[in-house]
Amino acid sequence: MPSNKSVSDAPIVQFTNCRILRDHQLQREDLWVREGKILNPEKLFFDEKGSADVQLDCKDSIIAPGFIDVQINGGFGVDFSLATDDFKSGIDLVSQKILSHGVTSFCPTLVTSPPSVYHQVLPQISVRNGGAHGAGILGAHLEGPFISKEKKGAHPEHCLRTFEAGAFQDLLATYGSLDCVQIVTLAPEMSRSSEVIQELTKRGICVSLGHSVANLSQAEEAVQHGATFITHLFNAMLPFHHRDPGIVGLLTSDKIPAGRRVFYGMISDGIHTNPAALRIAHRAHPKGLVLVTDAIAGMGLAPGRHTLGQQVVEIDGLNTYIAGTKTLSGSVATMDTCVRHFQEATGCSVETALEAASLHPAQLLGIEHKKGTLNYDSDADFLMLNDSLYVQATYIAGKEVWRQDGLGM
């Protein structure tokens, strides 16, 4: 078939011999990419009379959308909650290293910190596309400091804050700027939280409920005002009780506004959540489950002492504790590990496990028209995986940015 270059001179790459995750199913078809976007082959053939310039044999790999991590505190020795002179090089290092774990975009997460840290760090985080330099940055996730003292978890108590008379102005003064902020985690039982949730939502910022002692009606009210996410379900919230299930009850609440979906993050590392709890949540509300790593600076490093913002933490195997305590403090699990553990623990389909780390976080952030799927005209951010869901290669905008050694094509 002659190639018609009148539409675009950019090369067309055809990925063959693969199973593509599309419409919630692994489908045996080819993937066509041009100029960083996924092409509709019918339009290419019939409208442009075009054909592939390059063909790549995927050797029966699974092709799935790139993973999106909306809660990652750092990794590989870098802590996003520490204001350092070389903060930019730190974020660059993490964005490069997580490519090998299938993450093609992420929200760098700051735990509860003094205002000075937000004022120094946030101006150094900018939303950017991914590429050979590393995963794309979707905006910051600010977890705290407007959270409950009783459920502070690994967050330093002396930095916690409440909403005073100014409410939203207090929040702005604390953070300094919301320019690059994508998600804010707060405790909805705090007085004046409703007006803050409404103001954040108006600005297109996702509000997440977490580190909280809220009862179900307080959580439902927060959702009615615009909250759409739950930060690491089961962790740092009241345990489920049959007379008042608390925030956990949002998974089956009948008070969610029509057309709205509540999403919830889960740290599927085998430590933070018992497999039975993972199964309960998944069966109760499968379309809301978003896998997050909640990874800290110690991810990718040897056991020992590391930091999480203002705190010292100790890593012992896959367990991470505030030094000298048994309080869990983030994880050292990588996203591909979380996907495999989730599939094993719940017995869900491969498609479901992959979508929990790609489609669902994209839907949460309202970017599913370009990320988290392999639909036509979406960004060509995708992974090649084997049947055991180990990442073999990572692509951003249709270009290979990481490949497992020895898997030449």
Binding positions for Zn(2+): 143, 211, 232
Question: Between β-strands 140-143 and 181-186, what pairing exists: parallel, antiparallel or unpaired?
Answer: parallel
DSSP label at 45? I
97 in the Ramachandran plot: left (φ > 0), alpha (ψ -120 to 50) or beta?
A: alpha
Mind giving me the DSSP string for 195-227? HHHHHHHHTTPEEEE-SB---HHHHHHHHHTT-
User: Residues comprising the binding site?
Assistant: 143, 154, 211, 232, 235-236, 243, 272, 328-330
**Three-state DSSP state, 8:** coil
Q: What is the DSSP letter of 120?
A: H
Which two tokens mark 355? 């979508």
Cα-flanking dihedrals φ and ψ of residue 312, to 5°?
A: -95, 135
193-202 vs 216-224: helix crossing angle, rounded to 10: 30
Within 8 A by CB and 6+ apart from 267, the residues are 232, 235, 273, 292, 293, 294, 331, 333, 338
Rg (CA), the chain: 21
Whole-number Å distance between alpha carbons of 314 and 303:
7
Which residue is it, tokens 């007006």?
195
Sheet of strand 311-316, all strands in order from the earlier edge strand to the far edge: 304-308, 311-316, 319-322
Residues with a catalytic annotation lie at: 294
Residue 279 C-beta-side C-alpha neighbours within 13 Å? 7
Angstrom distance (rounded) from CA 56 to CA 14: 6
CA angle 359, 28, 103 (to 5 degrees): 35
Amino acid at 29: E
